[in-house]
């Protein structure tokens, strides 16, 4: 069975295939991205819309960063917070309770059954942005048990513990059924 990963990012395709252990087809689609704190809502909308466009089994993915002190904000809206005030300013605004959860949701739809696979890890928000990366909030998230942000880690280090890996491993198990 062919499964289509909806992304414009060729590196994401490589990362998905490495974790899953099987090939995917990549398709770049212009999807409406709804604005919601809940990553699950964003992913389900994207996944169903992608299926309607290509009529083939699809997976989509999105992530969110949820601050405990802000009742789960910014969630899936993290990139919009970055565009308006920047991640550095977000660090300053947070206050004493810096606990956060990083969540990835992978959605799969074959035209009949919608399934989602969630990977989540706990951590804290750094006092300031650190590291270099092209992956958004990696510069401010320090996973539990570590002393550095995702952006300060090597690609391999991050992928051993990432929420994306957890979600994709759940999807891989589902595909074995």
Domain extent listing, the chain: 4-176
Q: Is the pLDDT of residue 155 over 90?
A: no
Tens of pLDDT, residue by residue over 21-33, are 999 999 999 888 8
Tens of pLDDT, residue by residue over 84-138, are 998 888 888 998 999 999 999 999 999 999 999 999 999 999 999 898 866 789 9
Question: Cα separations (Å) of 99 from 69, 132, 151?
Answer: 7, 22, 18
Catalytic annotation present for 82: no
Q: What does the H/E/C string look like for 101-124? A: EEEEEEEEECCCCEEEEEEEEEEE
What is the pTM (predicted TM-score) of this model?
A: 0.91
- The pLDDT value recorded for residue 177 is 59
Among candidate residues 62, 82, 113, 138, the one labeled active-site is 62
Q: Alpha-carbon distance 143 to 176, whole Å? A: 30
Its CATH class, for the domain covering 4-176, is alpha beta
Question: What residues pair up with 108 in beta bridges, in sequence order?
Answer: 59, 115
């Amino acid at each position: 069975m062919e499964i289509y990963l909806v992304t414009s990012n060729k590196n994401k395709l490589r990362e998905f295939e490495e974790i899953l252990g099987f090939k995917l087809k990549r398709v770049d689609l212009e999807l409406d991205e709804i604005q919601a704190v809940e990553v699950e809502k964003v992913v389900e909308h994207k996944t169903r819309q992608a299926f309607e466009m290509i009529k083939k089994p699809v997976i989509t993915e999105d992530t969110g960063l949820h601050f405990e002190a802000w009742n789960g904000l910014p969630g899936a809206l993290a990139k919009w917070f970055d565009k308006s005030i920047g991640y550095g300013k977000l660090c300053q605004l947070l206050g004493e309770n810096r606990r956060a959860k990083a969540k990835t949701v992978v959605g799969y739809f074959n035209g009949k059954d919608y399934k989602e696979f969630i990977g989540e890890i706990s951590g804290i928000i750094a006092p300031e942005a650190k590291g270099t990366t092209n992956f958004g909030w990696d510069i401010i998230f320090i996973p539990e048990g570590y002393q550095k942000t995702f952006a300060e880690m090597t690609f391999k280090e991050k992928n051993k513990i990432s929420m994306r890996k957890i979600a994709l491993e759940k999807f891989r198990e589902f595909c074995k059924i």
